[in-house]
Amino acid sequence: MTAPAPRFAQFAWDRGCEWLLSHGPIEGPQLLIVPPLFEELNRMRRLIGDVMRALAAQGVGSHLPDLPGTGESDRRIEETGWEDWLAAVPAAARFAGATHVASLRGGALVDHGAGLPLWRFQPAEGAALLRDMTRARALTDPGFDEAAKQALFEAGPTELGGYRVPPGLARALNEARPAVVEGARVVRLATDAKPA
């Protein structure tokens, strides 16, 4: 049996519609993949696609949503708040008929609302993601000094990793930690000393 071709559909959430890429069968186990945030998604997009095709070959459907303000979203990131991402993930899971959720890196910060079995790969804290993005910006922009870093939380939006991050989203990201979810499985690289 040949798995269906990749499919694109829009799912509705509280404040609009976003795109969802699906691979694999529409029957049987269905996995919602909550992507890493910001530029980490760009670096991992090919890997995620390869994983989705491999899952399809094993008879597992998988679904990758664009979070509001990212990817093909009609919403601009400057108009997006943390609560939008928290609302979009369970809406995508319902639309996809997900039976499980997997999140990658920063996706673990917004993955818990669906109430489904959860698998997290290398979950990251929001402050660490923000620190990496501000360091990268400082390396390429000598004018991005300590005052500019502070303005990220107050004046914004601030260009980080190709995204114009608004102050409210930056503040929420800075405070975000992966939620404690009973039974969640955590997978870490061997070089990461944090508990798995």
Q: Are 35 and 42 in contact (CB under 8 A)?
A: no
**Whether pLDDT at 96 is above 60:** yes
Supply the pLDDT for residue 156.
76
Query: How many domains does the chain fold into?
Result: 1
Compute φ and ψ for 83, nearest 5 degrees. Answer: -60, -25
Percent of the chain clearing pLDDT 90 (strictly above): 80
Look at residue 77 and tell me if it is in a domain: yes
Range of the domain at 53: 7-124+179-187
Q: What is the mean pLDDT of residues 88-107?
A: 98
Supply the pLDDT for residue 165.
94
Q: Tell which wins on pLDDT, 35 or 195.
A: 35
How does residue 1 score in pLDDT terms, banded at 50, 70 and 90?
A: low
Q: Are 90 and 113 in contact (CB under 8 A)?
A: yes
Look at residue 158 and tell me if it is in a domain: no
Token pair for 37: 């945030």
For residue 166, what is the DSSP state?
-
Q: What is the pTM of this model?
A: 0.93
Look at residue 51 and tell me if it is in a domain: yes
- Between 42-56, 102-116, 149-163, the lowest mean confidence (pLDDT) is in 149-163
Q: What is the mean pLDDT of residues 96-109?
A: 98
- E strands in 53-166: 61-65, 100-104, 118-121, 158-160, 163-165
Look at residue 15 and tell me if it is in a domain: yes
What's the CA gap between 147 and 6, in Å, rounded? 46
How does residue 136 score in pLDDT terms, banded at 50, 70 and 90?
A: very high
Look at residue 95 and tell me if it is in a domain: yes
Look at residue 63 and tell me if it is in a domain: yes
Look at residue 148 and tell me if it is in a domain: no
What's the CA gap between 130 and 91, in Å, rounded? 26
Bridge-based pairing state of the strands 118-121 and 185-187: parallel
CATH of the domain at 95: 3.40.50.1820
**Whether pLDDT at 195 is above 80:** no
Token pair for 65: 């949503």
Q: Are 51 and 62 in contact (CB under 8 A)?
A: yes
Look at residue 138 and tell me if it is in a domain: no
Token pair for 87: 């609302």
